[in-house]
Structure 1
Amino acid sequence: MMRDQLYHHSHQPFYRSPFGAVPVSREVTLRLGGTLMPTAAKASVRLWREGLGEEIIAMSPIEGSETAKAVWEARFIALKKPGLVWYYFVVEHEEGVRYYGNNSQRLGGLGQMQMEAPYSWQLTVHRDQMHVPAWYKEGIMYQIFPDRFYNGLSRNKIRSPKKNSFLYGHWEDDPVYVKDPVTGSILRWDFHGGNLEGIIEKLPYLQSLGISILYLNPIFEAASNHRYDTGDYKKIDPMLGSEATFETLCQKAEALGMRIILDGVFSHTGSDSRYFNREGNYATLGAYHSKNSPYFPWYRFKNYPEEYDCWWGIDNMPNTNEMEHSFRSFIIDDEDSVIRRWLRKGAAGWRLDVADELPDPFIRELRQAMKETNPESVLIGEVWEDATNKVAYGERREYLLGDELDAVMNYPFREAMIRFFTEKDSGAETAMQLMSLYENYPREAFYSCMNLVGSHDRTRILTVLGEAPDEAGMGTQEKIQYRLPKKKRRRAERRFYLLTAFQMTFPGVPVIYYGDEAGMEGFSDPLNRRTFPWGSENQALLNWFKKMTAIRNGHEVFSKGDWQLLSTGENHIAFTRCFCSGDEGELAVVALNRHEKQSVVFQEKMPRSTEAPLTDLISGSQVILEGEWLTLELAPQTVMILLAPLKTTACEDDKVV
Structure 2
Amino acid sequence: MKIPWIHHDSHQSFYRTPFGAVTCQHRVSFGLSVEDGEEEIYQVALRLWTDQEGEKLLSMRLVESINNQQIYRLVFDLPSYPCLVWYYFIITTNTSTYYYGNNPHQQGGIGQVYLYQPPAYQITVHKENSLVPSWFKSSVMYQIFVDRFFNGSEDGRIMNPKPGAYLYSDWNATPSYIRDQKTGAIVQYDFFGGNLAGVIKKLPYLQSLGINLIYLNPIFESSSNHKYDTADYKKIDPMYGDHEAFQSLCEEAEKLGISIILDGVFSHTGSDSIYFNKNGNYPGLGAYQSTVSPYYPWYRFEVYPDQYDCWWGIDTMPNTNETEPTFQGFIIHDEDSVLQHWMDSGAKGWRLDVADELPGSFIKALRKRMKEIYPESILIGEVWEDASHKISHGESREYLLGEELDSIMNYPFRHILLDFILGHFNSKEVHQAFMCLYENYPRHHFYATMNLIGSHDVPRILTLLGDAPPESSLSKEEQGLYRLSPEQKKKALKRLTLLSLVQMTFPGVPCIYYGDEAGVEGYSDPLNRRTYPWGREDQVLLTWYRKIIEIRRQYDALSTGDWISLPIHEDIYGYMRCIECQRDIFGENKKNNRIFVFINRSLHQEIPLTIDVASFGDQPWMDILHDSHEFSVLDSKLNISLKPLEGKIIVQKL
**1:91 offset after TM fit, Å?**
1.7
Deviations 1:505-548 (A, max 9, x none): 11000110000000000000000000000000001111111111
Corresponding residue number in structure 2 for 1:181:
181
Q: CA 1:603–1:4 in 2, change beyond 3 Å: closer, same or farther?
A: farther
Q: Could you tell which deviates more after superposition, 147-156 or 358-367?
A: 147-156
**Residue of structure 2 equivalent to 1:630:** 638
Alignment of 1:39-78 (within 5 A): 40-63=41-64, 70-78=70-78
Q: Which residue of 2 aligns with 1:96?
A: 96
| Aligned residue number for residue 241 of structure 2 | 241
Structure 1 residue 430 corresponds to structure 2 residue 438 = no
**Which residue of the other structure, out of 618, 623, 648, is the alignment partner of 1:616?**
623
Per-residue Cα deviation, 1:64-115 (whole angstroms, up to 9, x for no partner): x856763221110122100101111112234532211111111111111112
When residues 350 and 627 of structure 1 are mapped into structure 2, their CA distance, relative to the original with a 3 A threshold, is farther
Taking the aligned partners of 2:608 and 2:70, their CA distance within structure 1 comes to: 36
Q: 3-state SS of the aligned residue for 2:592?
A: strand
CA contact (8 A) 2:431 2:566 kept: no
The whole-number CA distance in structure 1 between the counterparts of 2:327 and 2:615 is 54
Identity of aligned residues (%): 50
Of 262-271 and 466-475, deviating more is 466-475
Q: Matches of 2:427 and 2:15 in 1, distance apart? A: 24
Q: Which moved more, 1:152-161 or 1:188-197?
A: 152-161
Computed over aligned residues only, the root mean square deviation of the Cα atoms, in angstroms, reads 1.7
In structure 1, C-alpha distance between the alignment counterparts of 2:82 and 2:36, rounded to whole Å: 35
Q: Which moved further from structure 2: 340-349 or 66-75?
A: 66-75
Larger deviation, residues 156-165 vs 473-482: 473-482
Check if 1:587 corresponds to 2:594.
yes
Q: Secondary structure at the match of 1:41?
A: strand
Distance, in Å, in 2 between the alignment partners of 1:275 and 1:17 is 53
Paired residue secondary structure (1:123): strand
1:8-157 maps to which residues of 2 (within 5 A)? 8-36=8-36, 40-63=41-64, 70-157=70-157
Offset at residue 154 of structure 1 (A): 1.6
Tell me, in whole angstroms, the C-alpha distance in 2 between the residues paired with 1:381 and 1:608.
Answer: 40
Contact residue 618 and residue 636 of structure 2 kept, 8 A: no
Q: Report the 3-state secondary structure (helix = DSSP H, G, I; strand = E; otherwise coil) of the residue aligned with 1:105.
A: coil
Q: CA deviation at 1:642?
A: 1.0
Q: Is the 8 A contact 2:24 2:82 kept in 1?
A: yes
Distance in 2, matches of 1:164 and 1:476, equals: 23
CA distance in 2, matches of 1:4, 1:584: 49
Q: Could you list the per-position Cα deviations for residues 599-646 of structure 1 after superposition, in whole angstroms to 9, with x for gaps in the alignment?
A: 223334349513322211101112233465433322221111011255
Instruction: Give the 3 Å change call, closer, same or farther, for CA 132–155 of structure 1 in structure 2.
Output: same
For the 8 Å contact 1:10–1:19, the answer to whether it is kept is: yes
Q: Is the 8 A contact 1:420 1:427 kept in 2?
A: yes
The 1-side partners of 2:36 and 2:606 are apart by 41
Query: Where does structure 2 lack aligned partners over 5 or more consecutive residues?
Result: 584-589
Deviations 1:384-427 (A, max 9, x none): 10011101011110011000000100011111011001011111
2:209 corresponding residue in structure 1: 209
CA contact (8 A) 1:264 1:351 kept: yes
Asked if the contact 2:189/2:225 (under 8 Å) is kept, the reply is yes
* Residue matched to 2:540: 540
Shift of 1:57: 1.6
TM-score w.r.t. the length of structure 2 is 0.96
* Shift in CA distance, 111/604, structure 1 to aligned 2, threshold 3 Å: farther
- For 1:627 and 1:257, the matched residues in 2 are separated by 46
Paired position in structure 1 for 2:586: none
**Using the alignment, how far apart are the partners of 1:363 and 1:607 within structure 2?**
48
Paired residue secondary structure (1:156): coil
Q: Do the aligned partners of 2:145 and 2:529 also contact (CA within 8 Å) in 1?
A: yes
1:632 counterpart SS class: strand
1:311–1:317 contact (8 Å) kept in structure 2: yes
- 1:168 and 1:538 map into 2 onto residues whose CA distance is 24
Instruction: State the alpha-carbon separation in 1 of the partners of residues 612 and 363 from structure 2.
Output: 45
Structure 1 equivalent of residue 647 of structure 2? 639
User: Following superposition of structure 1 onto structure 2, how do residues 325-364 of structure 1 map, counting pairs within 5 Å?
Assistant: 325-364=325-364
Matches of 1:617 and 1:404, distance apart in 2: 39
In the TM superposition, residue 167 of structure 1 has moved relative to its aligned partner by 0.5
1:605 matched residue in structure 2: 612
Change (3 A) 1:39 1:598: farther
Worse-superposed segment, 554-563 or 471-480: 471-480
What code does the residue aligned with 2:330 have? F
Alignment match, 1:517: 517
Which secondary structure state, in structure 2, belongs to the residue aligned with residue 434 of structure 1?
Answer: helix
SS in 1 for 2:49: strand
Q: Helix, strand or coil: the match of 2:356?
A: helix
| CA-CA distance at 1:4 after TM superposition | 8.3
**Could you tell me which residue of structure 2 aligns to residue 651 of structure 1?**
none
Deviation for aligned residue 1:467: 1.9
Q: Partner amino acid for 1:59?
A: M
Contact 1:150 1:199 in 2 (8 A): yes
Moved more, 17-26 or 178-187: 178-187
Q: How big is the shift at 1:343?
A: 0.8
The aligned counterpart of 1:483 is 483
- 3-state SS of the aligned residue for 2:155? helix
Question: In 1, distance between residues paired with 2:190 and 2:51?
Answer: 49
Letter in 2 for 1:42: Q
Q: Call closer, same or farther: CA 1:628–1:562 in 2, change over 3 Å.
A: farther
Number of aligned residues: 643
Deviations 1:282-332 (A, max 9, x none): 112111111111111111111111111110011110110111010000000
Give the whole-Å Cα distance in 2 for the aligned partners of 1:97 and 1:623. Answer: 54
Match of residue 300 from structure 1? 300
DSSP 3-state at the match of 2:151: coil
Q: Deviations over 1:204-248 (max 9, x none)?
A: 110111111100000000100000000000001111011111011
Alpha-carbon contact 1:507-1:559 (below 8 Å) kept: yes
Quote how far apart the aligned CAs of 1:169 are: 1.1
Secondary structure in 2 matching 1:232: strand
Amino acid across the alignment from 1:625:
V
Q: Distance in 2 between matches of 1:74 and 1:294?
A: 58
Contact kept? 1:584, 1:645, Cα under 8 Å: no
Q: Residue type of the partner of 1:470?
A: P
Using the alignment, how far apart are the partners of 1:36 and 1:6 within structure 2?
10
Determine the C-alpha separation between the residues in 2 that align with 1:295 and 1:167.
Answer: 33
SS at match of 1:252: helix
Work out the CA distance in 2 between the residues paired with 1:247 and 1:47. Answer: 52
Instruction: Output the CA distance in 2 between the equivalents of 1:149 and 1:182.
Output: 32
Q: Is the 8 A contact 1:59 1:74 kept in 2?
A: yes
CA-CA distance at 1:46 after TM superposition:
1.0
Written as runs of structure 1 = structure 2, the 5 A alignment for 1:255-266 is: 255-266=255-266
Rounded to whole Å, the distance in 2 between the matches of 1:10 and 1:456 is: 36
AA aligned opposite 1:422: L
- Over residues 25-56 of structure 1, what are the superposed CA-to-partner deviations in whole Å (9 max), with x where a residue is unaligned? 00001111242489633212111123111111
CA contact (8 A) 1:609 1:627 kept: no
d(CA) in 2 for partners of 1:275, 1:179: 25
Mapped to 2, the partners of 1:36 and 1:310 lie a distance apart of 61
Pair 1:279–1:610, CA change in 2 (3 A): farther
Where 1:224 maps in the other structure, the secondary structure is: coil
Counterpart mapping for 1:293-442 below 5 A: 293-442=293-442
Change (3 A) 1:134 1:608: farther
Partner of 2:279: 279
